[in-house]
Structure 1
Amino acid sequence: MRVTQGTFSFLPELTDAQIAAQVQYCIDNGWAVNIEFTDDPHPRNTFWEMWELPLFDAKDAAGVMLELDACRKAYGDRYIRISAFDASHGWESVRLSFIVNRPDEEPGFLLERQEIAGRAMRYTLRHRSATI
Structure 2
Amino acid sequence: MSDIQSFKQSQKYETFSYLPEMNPEQVRKQVEYIIEQGWNPAVEHSEPENAFGHYWYMWKLPMFGEQSVDTVLAEVEACRQENPGHMVRLIGYDNYAQSQGLAFVVHRG
Same fold (TM over 0.5): yes
User: Hey, what does 1:95 align to over in structure 2?
Assistant: 101
Map 1:14-93 → 2, pairs under 5 A: 14-39=22-47, 40-42=50-52, 45-89=53-97, 92-93=98-99
Residue-by-residue CA offset, 1:47-89 (whole Å, 9 max, x unaligned) = 1000111011211211100001101111131111001111124
Which secondary structure does the structure 1 equivalent of 2:61 belong to?
Answer: strand
Using CA pairs below 8 Å that are at least 6 residues apart, which structure has the higher relative contact order? Answer: 2
User: Hey, what does 1:120 align to over in structure 2?
Assistant: none
User: Hey, what does 1:3 align to over in structure 2?
Assistant: 11
Structure 2 length as normaliser, TM-score? 0.85
TM-fit CA distance, 1:3: 2.0
Structure 1 length as normaliser, TM-score? 0.71
Report percent identity of matched pairs. Answer: 32
Output the CA distance in 1 between the equivalents of 2:29 and 2:84.
21
Unmatched 5+ stretches in structure 1: 104-132
Give every structure 1 segment of 4 or more consecutive aligned residues whose post-TM-superposition deviation is greater than 6 Å: none
Which secondary structure does the structure 2 equivalent of 1:55 belong to?
Answer: coil
User: Hey, what does 1:12 align to over in structure 2?
Assistant: 20
- Cα pair 2:43 2:91 within 8 Å, conserved: yes
Instruction: Output the aligned Cα RMSD.
Output: 1.2
Unmatched 5+ stretches in structure 2: 1-8
Opposite residue 22 of structure 1, the aligned amino acid is: Q
